Amino acid sequence: MKKTSLLSMLLLGTVGVVAMSLSFAAPPAPKAAGIESRDYSWNAQEGEKNEALKLKGNRENGEEAYEICGACHLPSGAGRPDGTFPQLAGQHTTVLIKQMADIRAGLRDNPTMYPFAVTLTDPQELADVSIYIESLCIPPDHGKYEGTDAALQIVKGKELYEKQCLECHGKNGEGDKAKFYPVIAGQHYKYLLRQMTEIRDGHRRNANLDMVRIIKPYTDDMLVAISAYQASLKMPGAMCEAKASKK
């Protein structure tokens, strides 16, 4: 779906209208075997994901393809602080390609995103939109933990993070592009908490099995603290310039 059809839907007023229109147009999401399967391989080098990773993305084409993503994730890629949609700007292309390919293949359950994801036509378009998203400047503001005990939660979260999360996600939450580990620094607190809870409870079917094993014993309070700490970190990359104040 390209500019004209998307624009006509946006003129109707809400993201919900766009999602509803796409839901009617798209086939039901497939459901491939995930972490519940004995044969599950977290990052199998196969299918359109592997094809897209071999291609050089085109930012200009990716900008056009991203328009349909911007309906939920915003044109800036900032996502939404309430945790419904993650911040995408600056995320590693490898992570973006894997997650979109997994949703398209039915390996990750995301019924809201699936109708949007299937409008991308081929591995080249996956590579294009991913390189565009990675190139976006980092929004200066995002959703943080706002409880009155924020300072305490961040201290607790830092201790937990450095024990078991640092090895994969990096000292500053920068992730690892080559290993498909996402940037988690500066992600919205509520999104981080939701995803870690789903991974712990076995509902994120394309999760890394090593992370499932590590996070399984964590209590809700521990997940709150780790999420608060991760959201407090500064995301790596070029920050967006502050907008001039209106006089």
- DSSP labels, 180-200: TBPP-TT--HHHHHHHHHHHH
Task: Say yes or no: 154 and 85 in one domain.
Answer: no
CB neighbour list of residue 31: distance below 8 Å, 6 or more residues apart: 106, 109
Of 135, 164, 192, the last residue of a domain is 135
Q: How confident is the model at residue 45 (pLDDT cuts 50, 70, 90)?
A: confident
**Domain total in the chain:** 2
Distance of CA 177 to the CA centre of its chain: 14
Task: Say yes or no: 227 and 158 in one domain.
Answer: yes
Q: Is residue 114 part of a domain?
A: yes
Calpha distance 71→18 (Å, rounded): 8
| Token code pair at residue 151 | 């300072």
Of 87, 107, 135, the last residue of a domain is 135
Backbone phi, then psi, for 145, in 5-degree steps?
A: -65, 130
Task: Say yes or no: 127 and 154 in one domain.
Answer: no
Average confidence (pLDDT) over 165-181: 96
Q: Is residue 184 part of a domain?
A: yes
Q: Is the pTM of this model over 0.85?
A: yes
Per-residue pLDDT tens over the stretch 84-134: 999 999 999 999 999 999 999 999 999 999 999 999 999 999 999 999 999
Q: How confident is the model at residue 46 (pLDDT cuts 50, 70, 90)?
A: confident
Of 90, 112, 135, the last residue of a domain is 135
pLDDT, greater one: 21 or 71? 71
Q: Which CATH number is 9's domain given?
A: 1.10.760.10
The range of the structural domain enclosing residue 166 comes to 150-232
Task: Say yes or no: 16 and 86 in one domain.
Answer: yes
CB neighbour list of residue 177: distance below 8 Å, 6 or more residues apart: 92, 93, 94, 95
Q: Is the pLDDT of residue 14 over 80?
A: no
Average confidence (pLDDT) over 236-246: 78
Q: What is the pLDDT of residue 246?
A: 54
Q: Is residue 141 part of a domain?
A: no
Q: How confident is the model at residue 171 (pLDDT cuts 50, 70, 90)?
A: very high
